Structure 1
Amino acid sequence: MKAMILAAGKGERMRPLTLTTPKPLLPAGGAPLIVHHIRKLRKAGFTELVINHAWLGEQIEQALGDGSEYGVTINYSPEGEPLETAGGILQALPLLDGKAGWFAVINGDIWHDFDLTGLTPPDHGKALLVLTDNPVHHPEGDFALAEDGRVSSDGARKLTFTGISLLHRSLFEGLPRGSRKLAPILREAMTHGDVTGLYHRGQWMDIGTPERLATLDRLLTQSSHS
């Protein structure tokens, strides 16, 4: 099964760090954020990767090359202007042909200790989302996870979408290319019972600000010395 790392955002909240460096290449714990993702994907058996990019994307290609240094194969999906999550996936779909139409997608600006081998196609539906407890900066959450594993837009207790998912290409059938967000597509699928979820109890961070990047750097540096 193939995996896509979303790396096309401008990282405006990370300025001034991202004025000259694309966010996926910002270092934490001695390695760029995106390299941590590549290593985790490789460890879980994902060796064919697709990376989209826009802002300073040539730096990403120069830094990672064809992926052989990390034991993977990388194909790139360059975007002139960021196409949002779903738009980027739509453009990259021809590169994501794989096992029964399923592929993994991971946001490039997160940190996690989720075991990616848990991303196995569900018995039914078009999407499998990994959800976690709401961080302080996102207390309202995103989606509700029922006891039967179904995910819905509303519920008594909403959890936060980690940006880790397994998606089926049929989720995007008939959609024209262009800038498009993923959340409305997922919500529409939820109305048909086509989205399931996994609850992640471990570590997860949205690396959206310089302060959170510094926090992650300290965390990784401490753990490497312990």
Structure 2
Amino acid sequence: MKAMIFAAGQGVRLKPLTDNIPKALVKAGNKTLLEHAVNKLKSAGATDIIINVHYLAHQIKNFIKYNNNFGINITISHEKDMLLETGGGLVYASHFFGKDEDFIIHNVDVLSDIDLNAMWDFHKKSGALATLAVMARKTNRYFLFDDTLRLKGWQNTITNEIIKAENHKGTLTPLAFSGIHVVNSRIFEHIEETGVFSMTKVYTRLCNDHIIKAYRHDDTQWFDIGKIESLRAAEAYFRL
């Protein structure tokens, strides 16, 4: 199994912890966020992981080398000139993935007890182009799903922007994205965007004609390590 960790971000909301180190090397307990993500993916069966880097990239490279690649095959995707966001970063790393190959994407700043193997099996059985881990929780931006858990839109509750698929029917359920997806490499054939862009833009454009599913994990614990308070909360819950 292959996987990608999005680890290029600076972690502005985690300052001052990220003044001199990248977000990926912030510690949760006695391990870095990067180690937690790698271990999570390894436990799910990942053998080859590509990690995108940008801010203080040399520190991440040196850390991985010092730890002997955590005992698996690790490739670095260095976004030297600019941070490409999730969509641009994925396309930049597309050479890593084979034809018609499923893989997991995991944000480095997410800590959870989600069952990645169950999510993987759900994705494989659904035949979806992509499967998004989602929860019913309060946030500012939501993916919108129909009663078959198929993606049909997106909304921003702050700006009141709403994007809906042309073929949507009935009531759509807003669910918050958890920063974890299972994707098939066929998606690269359909990405028209270039440069700096997010996967949210890709998913909302493709959902009219392609199956993109929700994997709900409402019964799990999940933390977005975007702020120091959430980092401490995650450490307390997982006893890190």
1:148 alignment counterpart: 148
- Which residue does the alignment assign to 2:36? 36
CA distance in 1 between partners of 2:146 and 2:172 (Å)? 10
The equivalent residue for 1:124 is: 127
Letter in 2 for 1:178: G
Percent identical residues? 30
| Aligned residue among 183, 186, 195 for 1:167 | 183
> How high is the TM-score relative to the length of structure 2?
0.83
Cα distance in 2 between the residues matched to 1:7 and 1:199: 24
Distance 2:113 2:152 in 1: 24
From 214, 220, 226, the counterpart of 2:232: 214
Matched AA of 2:95: P
1:158 matched to 2:161? The reply is no
With over 3 angstroms needed to count, the CA separation of the structure-2 counterparts of 1:168 and 1:9, relative to structure 1, is: same
The number of aligned residues is 218
Give the alignment's TM-score, normalised by structure 1: 0.88
**How does 1:1-226 map onto structure 2 within 5 Å?**
1-65=1-65, 68=68, 70-80=70-80, 81-97=82-98, 100-118=100-118, 119-120=120-121, 121-135=124-138, 138=139, 140-153=140-153, 155-173=171-189, 175=192, 177-201=194-218, 202-221=220-239
Q: Over residues 83-134 of structure 1, what are the superposed CA-to-partner deviations in whole Å (9 max), with x where a residue is unaligned?
A: 0000000000001226x32221111111111111121434433111111121
Q: Is the 8 A contact 1:29 1:220 kept in 2?
A: no
**d(CA) in 2 for partners of 1:66 and 1:73?**
14
Is the 8 Å Cα contact of residues 67 and 74 (structure 1) preserved in structure 2? no
Distance in 1 separating the partners of 2:45 and 2:192:
30
Matched AA of 1:213: L
Aligned residues of 2:8 and 2:53 also touching (Cα < 8 A): yes
What is the CA-CA distance between 1:51 and the residue it aligns to?
A: 0.2
Partner amino acid, structure 1, of 2:136? D
Q: CA deviation at 1:177?
A: 4.3
Aligned residues of 2:145 and 2:172 also touching (Cα < 8 A): no
Higher alpha-carbon deviation: 153-162 or 84-93: 153-162
1:110-169 Cα deviation digits (max 9, x unpaired): 11111111214344331111111214xx1x451133342312215543111111101122
Cα pair 1:29 1:216 within 8 Å, conserved: no
Counterparts of 1:83 and 1:166 in 2: how far apart (Å)?
A: 20
Structure 2 gaps, min length 5: 155-170
**Contact in 1 for aligned 2:147/2:172 (Cα 8 Å):** no
CA contact 2:146–2:173 (8 Å) conserved in 1: no
Distance in 2 between the 1:94 and 1:23 partners? Answer: 25
Following superposition, the deviation at residue 43 of structure 1 comes to 0.9
Q: Distance in 2 between matches of 1:45 and 1:129?
A: 19
Instruction: Report the secondary structure of 1:86's partner residue.
Output: helix
Q: State how far apart, in whole Å, the 2-side matches of 1:30 and 1:150 are.
A: 39
RMSD over equivalenced CA pairs, Å: 2.0
* Preserved contact between residue 150 and residue 193 of structure 1 (Cα < 8 Å): no
